[in-house]
Amino acid sequence: MNITTWNVNSVRRRLERVLEWVDEHEPDVLCLQELKCQDAEFPAEAFTSRGYSCSVFGQKAYNGVAILSHRARVPHSDVVTDFPVPGDGQARGIACTVHPERCAPLRLVNLYVVNGGELDSDKYSYKLKWLDALVEWVQAERQRWAGPMIVCGDFNIAQADLDVHDPKRWAGQVLCTDAERERLDRLKALGFQDSWRALHPAERTFSWFDYRGAGFDRNEGLRIDLHLVSGLPPQGPIDVVIDHDARGRPESSDHAPVTIFLGP
């Protein structure tokens, strides 16, 4: 089974690119972030016609998350939304249970973490409070769900200097502050590991590249799109792939899709 996380930066604007990628790779599960549309505006038919079930938590013009799973291979159930801060009006979290044919059911959490803006902004303060709430929510979910769990998505945090193209330039900046990293460490301390780093302990590669300054062409990016895994079989993930080819195509998102492969 494989699970892809992808911040598509407007699903309607990038629909051709997303469908092109889906047709090429036929993912079992696709977790999307930054939909930038309400539920009714999500192009569900484009995915259902390809065999996917769609669970969407959208928001007008901003945010929005969705989980798409192939009906025949990996049906999903028990969908929850509006967390970790219920009622805040920001569509940033969706979770479900996926049921692979040859694996144990798995609890899947898809996140679009707050960006944070500038250090002296209300957005940054809100990001830290949101992350505190996320740690509490995941801890409760982990206690409720005894099986394997994956928390994936756009975390908007580069967790170590190895995940940053220029650590000196980014030192103390939003996405790389000690406070953000400390909260991500607290989340991982609940029993999660970063699947990419577990398989690639010393590799410096990135999943997000700023449109400005030809960041992708210059390989100047951050690794902020993650699969945090807990309770998987002893062999763990077989591979994690960051698809830079998809990021390099015309009219692409500024994020690359990242796929974890868990076996059959």
Q: Please name which of 104, 99, 109 lies closest in space to residue 190, comparing C-alpha atoms.
A: 109
Structure tokens at 64: 């929005």
Interatomic CA distance for residues 21 and 33, integer angstroms? 16
- Indicate the pLDDT class of residue 153, thresholds 50, 70 and 90: very high
Interatomic CA distance for residues 191 and 189, integer angstroms? 5
- Indicate the pLDDT class of residue 235, thresholds 50, 70 and 90: low
Does 112 qualify as catalytic in the annotation? Answer: yes
Interatomic CA distance for residues 213 and 234, integer angstroms? 43
Q: Which domains does the chain have, with CATH numbers?
A: 2-261 (3.60.10.10)
Q: What is the pTM for the complete model shown?
A: 0.97
Q: Please name which of 133, 92, 146 lies closest in space to residue 115, comparing C-alpha atoms.
A: 92
218 pLDDT higher than 80: yes
Catalytic residue among 28, 52, 124, 154: 154
At residue 264, the pLDDT reads 65
140 pLDDT higher than 90: yes
Interatomic CA distance for residues 52 and 83, integer angstroms? 24
Does 62 qualify as catalytic in the annotation? Answer: no
Residues ≥6 apart with Cβ < 8 Å to 112: 7, 33, 34, 63, 64, 65, 91, 92, 93, 153, 154
At residue 236, the pLDDT reads 75
Q: Please name which of 49, 55, 48 lies closest in space to residue 77, comparing C-alpha atoms.
A: 55
Interatomic CA distance for residues 115 and 100, integer angstroms? 32
pLDDT digits (tens, 9 = 90+) for 56-96: 999 999 999 999 999 999 999 999 999 999 999 999 999 99
At residue 198, the pLDDT reads 94
Number of separate helices (H) and strands (E) present in the chain: 7, 14
% of the chain exceeding 70 in pLDDT: 99
Catalytic residue among 112, 124, 163, 254: 112
Residue type, 75: P
